[in-house]
Amino acid sequence: MNKRSNNKVGRRLGSALTLFFSSATLFLACGAEPDASTVATISQALCSDDNDCVDDGNICTEEVCEIAAAGAGAGGAASGECVHNPIPNCCNTSDECNDGKVCTTDTCENLKCVFTPNDEAGCCDGPEDCADATECTTDTCDVATGKCEHESVDGCCPATSCDDGNACTTEVCNDVSGRCNYLVDTECCNIDSECPAAEGACSVAVCNPTTHECGFSAVANCCAAAEDCDDGNPCTDDACTGNACEHVAIDGCCTSDGQCGDDDVCTADLCNATDHVCENSAITDCCTTDDDCADETDCTNDSCDEDTGRCVHKTKPFCCPDTDDCNDGNACTTDSCEDATCSYESTSNCCNTTGDCDDGNPCTADSCDGDNSCAHEEIAGCCLTDDDCDNDGCVAHTCNLETRLCTALPTAGCCADVADCGATGSCVTAACDSAAGSCTTTAEEACCVAAEDCNDGNACTTDSCDSGTCSYEAVADCCELDGDCFDGDSCTVDTCDGNTCSNEAAEGCCLSDADCDDPTPVCHLASARCVEEGAEEPPPTSGEGGSGAGPTTTPNPSSGSGGVVVNNPPTAPAEAKSEDDGGCSCRVASPRAPVGTLSLVLAASLLAFARRSGRRKSSLTP
């Protein structure tokens, strides 16, 4: 801390003590105690010297008591005002150290501002930082960005090119002055006026824009003497007046026949190539009126073409002096001349071309022979109506009016022999009733063409047709009835569902004591049910009678094939069921029937199976 800061600390302490005692004395005299805000207000507003001013807490300000010029208050009372003056180059933070230059880094170190130049190349604070040691630029500094700017000076080189775009100057840059110098080529030109004047009035100076060289060009229609004006035309008088040529036409002079026309079609208008004088000679046989063209013959119309002066003699049609003048070259006419008029009479049945012989009949071939006569030959097979066509048996013929040919249309169902009846297939015999003229077919028995002809309606056979004969092969593991599914086990329920057998175990069924457990360890063979030891028969189930009778087998009167019905004893399981199998009504035997009963059930099932097999076999026979 500097000496000034130390003095400030001492003054602050003395001022505080003086203010404290003065305030205490004042308030005690008034009989009141001052509060803190009152003490601060009094201390900041009134002072007699610097020690009376309260520190504002800023180390970078100095408290000063400024006393008015009138002096201290009456009786030595405080009359000054405290101010806080900033201490130069003192700081609390770096934000207080801005020197306004972009090329320095401003920081506060030990309560002092430090301005350190930065390392950025080309940074400037004024134009003196931007001098580039050349007179061809104006050097300035943009203080807002700290960047130097070098603007080229007009006409200065080498920063600015010395090329002035003038082909007639050589550009040179003066290294000392920095200015461009231009050496002019006196023999070079850019425009005509830069060239020396031409000699004589009939030529002008011209500057070549490509080579920049001067030349001379003749002035059109300019002359110095009459011989300069010769236009090569013998019919003009050529003269030079005021350096300008004049060409005056010579009357009566010509250079071509076209200049000699006299508007008379009966003269030949020519230009004499030697004397250049027109000559108009009369034309022989020229006419001006129709009367000049009479040729003394009645068979022409005579006239004068006024545009050409030539006579025109047009022959009158059919006019003739004699018959020889009337030949029309047609062999089919007789030519004659009567009263100076030709007449032509057609010759009958005469022709010049085949077209002259068309008789309108599409069934004749028309032609013109060498003797100029027509021939009409009938076309074989041609017809005009259906009557021109022959009908035979089962075929009707009609006339096609477009082709003029007869078309055969067979009569449906008509026959002359069996060949007319067409293919009928291997299982059908065809015949033709010649008297009635119609076909008949007879189907052959037990004959087939394809497998669908052999369908026997049995899902358990594979139907096929072999060499015209049906055959039926049994499908393995297929069934139609529950009886087809008998597996010889009395403890299964055998059913046929969707042509597939199902053999499900019967609940509670037994064949020996080994199949039974406590408390019913004994197998009752008559009912195939487990019972308690010593029991003669199992107790009746709900809904059963107590007769205990074993199963019986009786013929099924409703079956046309001698089927059987297996009657269960009264103690049969509730699962036993009856199904209609299409003629054989079977009731599934109860599990664990006695051996005798099981034998009867087995015999009945085998009998039913044998009879069904017999039916199937008979259905397989064609």
DSSP string, 317-334: TTB-SSGGGG--S-TTEE
Contact 299, 319 (CB under 8 A): yes
Rounded CA gap, 129 and 470, in Å?
123
pLDDT digits (tens, 9 = 90+) for 324-365: 888 888 889 998 888 788 888 888 889 999 988 999 899 999
Four-residue CA torsion sign, 374, 380, 382, 385: positive
Cβ contacts of 68 within 8 Å, gap of 6 or more: 79, 80
In a domain, 226, yes or no: no
Give residue 98's pLDDT band: very low, low, confident or very high (50, 70, 90): confident
In a domain, 64, yes or no: yes
Q: What does the pLDDT read at residue 210?
A: 93
Bond before 519 cis per omega within 30 degrees: yes
Q: What does the pLDDT read at residue 532?
A: 84
**Residue given tokens 């597996």 in the structure block:** 487
Rounded CA gap, 259 and 251, in Å?
12
Give residue 574's pLDDT band: very low, low, confident or very high (50, 70, 90): very low
Q: Give CA 65 to chain center in angstroms.
A: 93
Q: What does the pLDDT read at residue 299?
A: 84
Three-class DSSP category at 345: strand
Predicted confidence (pLDDT) at residue 312 exceeds the cutoff of 90: yes
Rounded CA gap, 366 and 377, in Å?
7
Q: Which residues pair with 397 in a beta bridge?
A: 408
CB atoms within 10 A of CB 320: 22
pLDDT digits (tens, 9 = 90+) for 208-242: 999 999 998 888 888 888 888 898 899 999 999 88
Q: What does the pLDDT read at residue 448?
A: 85
CA-wise closest residue to 609 among 500, 511, 488, 493: 488
Give residue 561's pLDDT band: very low, low, confident or very high (50, 70, 90): very low
Predicted confidence (pLDDT) at residue 573 exceeds the cutoff of 70: no
Q: What does the pLDDT read at residue 28?
A: 38
Three-class DSSP category at 403: coil
In a domain, 579, yes or no: yes
Last residue of a domain, one of 88, 109, 140: 88
CA-wise closest residue to 476 among 497, 455, 453, 501: 501
Rounded CA gap, 240 and 223, in Å?
6
Q: What does the pLDDT read at residue 152?
A: 78
Domain enclosing residue 78, as ranges: 3-88
Q: What does the pLDDT read at residue 260?
A: 93
Rounded CA gap, 580 and 584, in Å?
7
In a domain, 61, yes or no: yes
Q: What does the pLDDT read at residue 424?
A: 64
Both tokens of residue 26?
Answer: 């004042």
CA-wise closest residue to 610 among 566, 563, 572: 563
Q: What does the pLDDT read at residue 182?
A: 86
Mean pLDDT confidence for 559-582: 36
Give the N- to C-terminal CA distance of the chain in Å, as an integer: 139
Enclosing H/E stretch for 367: strand 364-368
Enclosing H/E stretch for 314: strand 310-315
Contact 205, 195 (CB under 8 A): yes
Q: What does the pLDDT read at residue 547?
A: 36
Cβ contacts of 226 within 8 Å, gap of 6 or more: 238, 239, 240
CA-wise closest residue to 324 among 335, 313, 338: 335
Four-residue CA torsion sign, 148, 151, 153, 158: positive
Mean pLDDT confidence for 72-96: 78
Contact 268, 274 (CB under 8 A): no
Domain count, the chain: 2
Rounded CA gap, 300 and 34, in Å?
164
Predicted confidence (pLDDT) at residue 73 exceeds the cutoff of 60: no
DSSP structure class, residue 123: B
Predicted confidence (pLDDT) at residue 410 exceeds the cutoff of 60: yes
In a domain, 542, yes or no: no
Rounded CA gap, 393 and 409, in Å?
11
pTM of the model: 0.23
Contact 140, 146 (CB under 8 A): no
In a domain, 308, yes or no: no
CB atoms within 10 A of CB 287: 21
In a domain, 532, yes or no: yes
Contact 18, 54 (CB under 8 A): no
26: left (phi over 0), alpha (psi -120 to 50) or beta: alpha
* 595 compared with 498, residue with greater pLDDT: 498
Give residue 249's pLDDT band: very low, low, confident or very high (50, 70, 90): very high
In a domain, 238, yes or no: no
* 205 compared with 131, residue with greater pLDDT: 205
Last residue of a domain, one of 41, 72, 88: 88
Both tokens of residue 424?
Answer: 């009928």
Predicted confidence (pLDDT) at residue 588 exceeds the cutoff of 70: no
Q: Which residues pair with 165 in a beta bridge?
A: none
Last residue of a domain, one of 88, 117, 142: 88
Q: Which residues pair with 140 in a beta bridge?
A: 149
